Structure 1
Amino acid sequence: MARLEDLRRVALSLPGAHEVTYKGDPWFNVGKKSFALQVGGRTILKLDRGHQELLFEVRPETFAKCKVATVHWAYVELDHLDQAELAELVTEAWSQIAPKKVSRPVLAGGR
């Protein structure tokens, strides 16, 4: 079962990632762009559109469309994830906004 502290640890381990606070909630950014955030206690990740659509269909208890942002965002129930899955999802979200020259080596396993 994953928690916010796990999300924070994974997010901040990624190149260029930093945490900001918006209205008291933690947001994880690269530059000024967010890839993971909490709003009112709910976690939101910026996932690949095709992947998130699959997740919405096969795991609706864990993933839901985020109605307050673009279709590239998904609500995620952290307590339904294990540590490995959380790390994969946060890395995917980060790769959606990180510069390709930074994200490619990480995605290839060569941080």
Structure 2
Amino acid sequence: MVTVEEIREVALSLPRAYEAIVRDRIKFRVGQIVFVALSRDETTMGFGYPKDERDALIEAEPEKFFPPSKSDARFNWVQVRLDAIDADEMRELVIDAWRMCVPKKVAASIDT
């Protein structure tokens, strides 16, 4: 299972990213935009993902991915079970979510 420490290491290595605790939940942000958030029990991770591609991702791998809460459905957001992914997949998801929040020039500075 991917750990919070592994997620933290990847997220905080990204330019402009920082960690915040909001209502007992760990969130990673760029400015005020959250690109990754962990559940309170730290078993799932929400991450930025294009809304128009969300249903296809969830349908392709429903054992891994699931939709955001009803209140978050309006956002570019998906959730993943941390015990269903490995460190490489987590890294890709975190970096892609971060890229949605930063200018293209900054996003291009990171190799995946």
Tell me whether 32-41 or 21-30 shows the greater mean CA deviation.
Answer: 32-41
Q: Which residue of 2 aligns with 1:14?
A: 14
What does the per-residue CA deviation read over 1:13-71, in whole Å, with 9 as the maximum and x for residues that have no partner? 11111001101211100111110012333321111335433220111111011023124
% identity of equivalent residues: 32
Residue type of the alignment partner of 1:102: V
**Partners of 1:75 and 1:92 in 2: CA distance:** 14
RMSD: 1.7
Q: Which residue of 1 aligns with 2:82?
A: 78
Q: Which residue of 1 aligns with 2:26?
A: 26
1:95 is displaced (CA, Å) by 0.7
| Ranges of 4+ aligned residues in structure 1 off by more than 6 Å | none
Q: TM-score, normalised by structure 1?
A: 0.86
CA contact (8 A) 1:28 1:34 kept: yes
Q: TM-score, normalised by structure 2?
A: 0.86
Aligned length, in residue pairs: 108
